[in-house]
Chain A
Amino acid sequence: TGPKDPGYAKAFSCSACHGWDGASRADTVPVLAGMPAWYLKKAIQDYASGKRPAAEMEPYAKMVLELGVDDVANYFARQPKPAPLAADPAAVERGRVAAAPCAVCHGTTGKGDPAKGVPDLTGQPAGYLRNQMLLFKADKRSPGEPTLSAVKALMKTIPDAQYADLAAYFASQR
């Protein structure tokens, strides 16, 4: 995982936002440490192609593709995932109950399913999870993508007040 890793120097610039070795402690910037390589790679490809619009990631996604996305993805996958940030226990409990409809895809523990292209939500900062759910709801994440229409339809059924609870729940899981 150290300086001998082929992804070590290629991952240097990500820590400016995602934290040292990808262990983000920021509420709205995702943790990369411990992220499965397949998913990091897919996210980079989606940002670079413009499919997943995000001004803060698109230029870097193009850079990562030039540097070698496999090295970068494998590097972050090997970093230890940081402990979840503190959360309000009452919100976590409410979120646990509200998360029932998510389990079909993300699994009962929120760990996701690589075979179906569903990411691990556990330990991601709550602000980030909530923002992504709102982007789905407004069809601003991968707009028009047919394979995501079920997720987006589901998000529209969730009352606004529940977004923060769901986010707190998944964020608090290891």
Chain B
Amino acid sequence: APAMKGDFAPKRGPRVVVIGGGWGGATAAKYVRLGDPAIEVILLEPNKQFVSCPLSNLVLSGVRSIDSLTFGYRGLRSHGVRIIHEAATAIEPDTKRVRVGEGYLQYDRLIVSPGIEFQTEQIAGLAEAGDQVLHAWKAGPQTVELARRLQAMPDGGVFVLTIPPIAYRCPPGPYERTCQVAWYLKHNKPRSKLIVLDANQNIVSKTGLFRAAWRDYPNIDYRASSKVVKVDTGAREVTTEFGDRVKYDVVNVIPPQRAGTIAVQADLVGADKRWCQVDHVTYESVKHKAVHVIGDSTIGLPVPKSGTVANAMGKICANAVVHLIGGKQPPAMPPVNVCYSWVSDKEAMAVINAYRIEGGKVVQIEQKLTPGQSQAFGQNALGWARSIWNDILG
């Protein structure tokens, strides 16, 4: 690899730099190239492979392998995206530079899609616990390790899952995970139970559908308004804000979250120091010109933090950036959302959202739920995954 010092890849024409090759960033990189092949696109992503969070809850139940959710970046290269497997270390909006190692890259427009980071400091003992307490909320080695611990747990053991207050990545995700762990226990460790400690007052997404699904799983002990504030790996217990202590054999703490670290360091976040406000048509940051933010890091649109939304934002933002670089007015295009949730090994259900843009802001047209769960929706959920992975990386 070339030494990354100074301006290590001098800009010769219009250039877009993308930070993060996940659901939002990889989509945006591809669609800038599709929109205008005269624009050079450089994607910064430290990981050599893309691991899909969607469907990763099925790795916990042993229904899917992590390999079946892991993809390379060859497709993006075939569209002429230049991928550098390094992390961006700083953004300099005034000089339009992104720092990488000891060098920098110049850009005309920057698209930032760094996903989420955990607010580990919000839970006492969590930082010290290291890998003894897993989040498995970024698909990868932690997902595989949590599945292994679940399998190794003795029958009769207690699995504790803790859910942070909204806003967090994938609102229905923890409840889907609840289904997958409960399904696994029901079939493999019938004397075990799953205790879910939810910081929220109720299931935050698809409430009725999850309640109905859980009728098949009497092994779930769901406790609302039970925010976990402490974890003790010695005593193997977690403590809620009301002082309730809960013992575990295997624990999965999904910590509170904020935008990816680079977005915080680059001062793209609001007063809450957590999430990034953006223009609803171009996804340009309200704080820095020519810097666009998409995906889970954003806030203020009436959309969930989902892969479908990140993918939609990637396309819309790419198209806006192509228009802006070409000196044209970008069209106002609304995103869409769909979140399928797997309630067993074969059955799924979904929430579907459509939006419009009104007065420059995204507003919802309609939200619909599938009428219950079924294997047919499971098939469509697989179809969605196949289609959207190809849309992002193919």
A contacts, CB < 8 Å to B: 2-3, 9-10, 12-13, 15-20, 24-29, 55-56, 58-60, 62-63, 66-67, 127, 131
Q: Does B62 contact A (CB under 8 A)?
A: no
User: How far, in Å, is A115 (CB) from chain B's closest CB?
Assistant: 32
Across the interface, name the chain A residue whose C-beta is closest to B308: A16
- How far is the CB of A24 from the nearest CB of chain B, in Å? 6
For the A-B complex, the count of residue pairs with Cβ-Cβ distances under 8 Å equals 110
A2-B34, A17-B387, A59-B367 given; 8 more Cβ-contact pairs under 8 Å: A20-B394, A24-B387, A56-B370, A58-B352, A58-B366, A59-B336, A63-B354, A63-B356
- How many angstroms from the CA of A25 to the CA of B387 in the assembled complex? 7
| Chain B residues packing against A (C-beta within 8 Å) | 34-36, 308, 311-312, 315-316, 319, 322, 331, 333-336, 338, 350, 352-356, 365-371, 376, 379-380, 382-384, 386-388, 390-391, 394
**In the bound complex, what is the Cα–Cα distance between A13 and B34 (angstroms)?**
15
Q: How far is the CB of B91 from chain A (nearest CB, A)?
A: 27
Alpha-carbon distance between A24 and B389 when the two chains are bound, in angstroms: 12
Asked whether, in the complex, the Cβ of B382 is within 8 Å of the Cβ of A10, the reply is: no
Q: Determine if A13 and B380 form an interchain contact, defined as CB atoms under 8 angstroms apart.
A: no
A18 to B316 CA separation, bound complex (whole angstroms): 17
The A interface, classified by DSSP as helix, strand, loop or mixed, is: helix
* Complex Cα–Cα for A3 and B315 (A): 12
Across the two chains, which residue of chain B brings its CB closest to A20? B391
Hey, which chain A residues are within 8 Å of B379, CB to CB?
27-28, 127
Q: Which residues does chain B contribute within 8 Å of A3, judged by CB atoms?
A: 34-36, 319, 322
Taking the nearest CB of chain B, how far is it from the CB of A103, in angstroms?
28
How many angstroms between the C-alpha atoms of A32 and B391 in the bound complex? 14
Q: Could you tell me if B338 and A17 are in contact, using CB atoms closer than 8 angstroms? A: yes
Q: Looking at the complex, which one of B334, B382, B388, B394 makes contact with A16 (CB distance below 8 Å)? A: B388
CB <8 Å contact, B370 and A55: yes
Chain B residue at minimum C-beta to C-beta distance from A24? B387
Query: B376's contact among A24, A25, A131, by CB below 8 Å, is which?
Result: A131
Distance (whole angstroms) from the CB of B170 to the closest CB of chain A:
15
CB distance from B333 to the nearest CB of A (A): 5
Given contacts A3-B34, A15-B391, A25-B386, contact A63 B352 (CB under 8 A): no
Which residues of chain B have C-beta atoms less than 8 A from A66's C-beta?
356, 365
Report chain A residues within 8 Å CB of B356. Answer: 63, 66
A15 to B335, CA, bound (A): 12
Can you name the residue of chain A whose Cβ is closest to the Cβ of B377?
A: A56
CB contact between B383 and one of A27, A55, A58, A59 (< 8 Å): that residue: A27
Contacts of B384 in A (CB 8 A): 16-17, 26, 29
Please, could you name 28 A-B residue pairs with CB atoms under 8 Å apart, sorted by A?
A3-B322, A10-B333, A13-B335, A13-B336, A16-B311, A16-B338, A17-B380, A17-B388, A19-B390, A20-B390, A20-B394, A24-B383, A25-B387, A26-B380, A26-B386, A28-B376, A28-B379, A29-B384, A55-B369, A56-B350, A56-B380, A59-B336, A59-B366, A59-B368, A62-B354, A63-B336, A63-B365, A67-B333
